Amino acid sequence: MNSALNLPFSEWTQVIPNARLCKALLDRITDRAHILETGTESYRFRRTADKQKKGAKPD
């Protein structure tokens, strides 16, 4: 399974507000997983943020 999210694990409760469910999900996803952190910002995320600052509708 591949998953990509621009938030660190500590901030996933912004996406999954139920902390208990979020912890259980992360526990299952990360068990025996290989976590790759690129250390770079997403181009799409940055582009959307720039559009929102300018008042344009995101794609």
Residues 11-58: tens digit of each pLDDT? 889 889 999 999 999 999 889 988 877 777 777 878 888 999 988 665
pLDDT, residue 6, reads: 72
- pTM (whole model) above 0.75: no
3-state secondary structure the chain: CCCCCCCCHHHHHHCCCCHHHHHHHHHHHHCCCCCCCCCCCCHHHHHHHHHHHHCCCCC
Delimit the domains of the chain by residue range. 9-54
